[in-house]
Each structure stands twice: as C-alpha cells, then as structure tokens.
Amino acid sequence: MQSLGTTLMLALAACTSRREAAPVERSNQSVAASEMAISLERTPCFGSCPVYAISVSPSGEVKYEGRANVRLVGTAVGQIPARRVEALLIELERAGYFTFAERYALSEPTCRRYSTDSPSAISSATFRGRTKRIEHDYGCGGVPGALMVMEQRIDEVLGSDRWTGR
C-alpha cells in the first residue's frame, strides 16, 4: 500500500513539473520572437526624394510614417505574415548585414568619395541576440552593394510602395 501511495505521489509530481515547464518554454519562445525587428528610415535630399520611416514587429505588424514626397503623409499600419519577418532577417544575415560598418557618411573611412545633396537610409535589424543600426549616406561611394540591395528588400517585403507611391 505504501508503494502505491509513493508511486501516485511521484506520478503527480511528474505531471505537475511538466505543466510548469511548458509556460517557461512558451515564454522563451516569446522572448526570442520579441528580439526580432527591422526598421528603415529614408531622409531628405536636395530634390523630391521620399522621406519616411517603416518598421515591422515579430508578429508582422508594419508601421509606416510618411513625412514628405510620398503618397501618404502621416501614419499607417499594415500586416505581413510573421514568417516573412524571420525570412527577411535570415536574408539580411546571409548578406552580411551584421558585419557591415555602422556608418557610411562623410568623414568616415568607409566613405571613399562623396557627392552632396543625397538622401540617407538608416536601417536597423535585431535578430538572434544581435542588433545592428546602419547609417548610409547615399552620397558616399564604396558602400557594399549588398547593403543597398538589403535596403531595397526591406522596402519590398514591408510593402512601403503602397504608401509612398514609389
């Protein structure tokens, strides 16, 4: 009889500890998801360059703020599938985004030649415990081509053209 009681107690304890572990796992997954983010800001130029900021959350919620020379001046919210957020972050990672310099701007060694009156793109990505923010002045020569491609990919995947008209 004592062994039956002990067995029941052990079975109950095992079930209880399993139930406690499940929320911890879900919590860890939420933390990992909350550590995924992408943003892109495009600044003014001498001319009619679009000026806006766009970002996406791990859930795929896209936030847009149009400032000048865009179809929609103001804010808007959209949605993309959450799996596209992670896929874009993987694409950024494979392109070497996290290894690029933090600034491509006048007076930086990363800026080989310079032309004035160009816009800038300020991008940011957080993924797998790393965060990178890159300021890219389009007047700078010598910028990795992959960085410019990734800036365009952020626009494409987040769908900025629906608000900018470009």
pLDDT tens-digit series, residues 47-93 = 999 999 999 999 999 999 999 999 999 999 999 999 999 999 999 99
What residue type is assigned to position 117 of the chain? D
pTM attached to this predicted model: 0.80
Instruction: Give me the sheet containing 120-127, strands edge to edge.
Output: 74-79, 61-68, 51-56, 37-42, 120-127, 130-137, 103-104
Of 91, 150, 92, 89, nearest to 121 (Cα)?
150
Half-sphere exposure of 129 (CA within 13 A, CB side): 1
Residue 62 bridge partners (DSSP): 56, 78
